[in-house]
Amino acid sequence: MRQSHVQSGFILWFLSVSILLVATIAVGAGFFANQYFSRGPATENKVVMISSGMGISAIADLLAEEGVIELPLLFKIAAKLDPDKAYLKAGEYEFVAGMPMSSVLQQIKDGEVVDRRITVREGLTSHQIVEILKAEEALIGDIIDIPKEGSLLPETYHFTKGDSRLDKLKQMQVAMRAVIDELWPGRKKGLPFETKDEAIILASIVEKETGVGLERAKVAGVFINRLKKGMLLQTDPTVIYAITKGKVKNEGKGPLGRRLLRKDLEIDNPYNTYKYAGLPPGPIANPGKASIEAVLNPDEHDYIYFVADGTGGHAFAKTLSEHNRNVAKWRQIRRSQQ
């Protein structure tokens, strides 16, 4: 009888403890879920840099310090329980206001970093590109030497805060070499130049002569025809480069800060294609892929002249008399615009 009472008491105690334990677990799980999925503490967007080599504990403490999460211990537990915990990625993150801890963890796992980018337009000189990099405060490091003209590929480049300016330049140089190496084998036969460097020189001239994509191969064809005939290229952008050396004005009045004058065409400089035949000694800007492709596969035609037509494009001519008529029309349009 007494033994039966003892057994009954033990069973009741065990059931009570079990119920209490289940209740505690349920409450704990509810608290965990509430804190994990509910709105976070940040009242505004927060940008946080997670450095390479930081472990889960360090990341959790940093997020708590920045006010992105409230309970770093809960973050650590959640991260360690996650099967993909080894894939927390370093980088610069922007967490939106009130982002739940679950979303914070997922964003770091997915590597959804701040999308910083620099866009380098076609036809910029190396000096201009360096100035763009210098002006980007999120990049670090000094640039002492201006890269060789024509060695940087115009493109949009992504970066992370703290990246090196020199590394960005190297990336642009690698990209340019990759493009010319890719396109060179597919060039037309019989082109009046023999090296990749010469192709870049001509592409830089085409880039500066037209901003109309559909015209590039046509303009390239004009210069190809002139080179084959031994004619002077007579292109204004090369004279401008002879004067500026790539350090162009940025005052809204063109690269010289004024119009190109007739007397400018008389300067004695190897870049002056009004005085020196053939290609100039180097590129006058950094051409884009489309311009490089245009000079390697130019349109085949008989045009040897072109001039602006007032619409952003150009009027092309096969003879000097036809060209002079086009020039007269352009001058009339320009006078009407003054």
Residue 277 structure tokens: 């035949």
What pLDDT, on the 0 to 100 scale, is given for residue 19?
52
What pLDDT, on the 0 to 100 scale, is given for residue 4?
56
SS3 50: strand
**pLDDT mean by block of 10 residues, the chain; 338 residues:** 52 50 46 58 86 87 89 85 72 89 86 90 96 94 95 95 94 98 96 97 96 92 97 96 90 83 93 96 97 97 91 90 90 78
What pLDDT, on the 0 to 100 scale, is given for residue 37?
56
The pTM of the full predicted model, rounded to 2 decimals, is 0.81
What pLDDT, on the 0 to 100 scale, is given for residue 81?
79
What pLDDT, on the 0 to 100 scale, is given for residue 295?
98
What pLDDT, on the 0 to 100 scale, is given for residue 89?
85
What pLDDT, on the 0 to 100 scale, is given for residue 331?
85
In the chain, what are the domains? 38-114 (3.30.1490.480), 116-174 (no CATH), 302-338 (3.30.160.60)
What pLDDT, on the 0 to 100 scale, is given for residue 24?
47
What pLDDT, on the 0 to 100 scale, is given for residue 46?
85
Q: How far is CA 118 from the centre of its chain?
A: 4
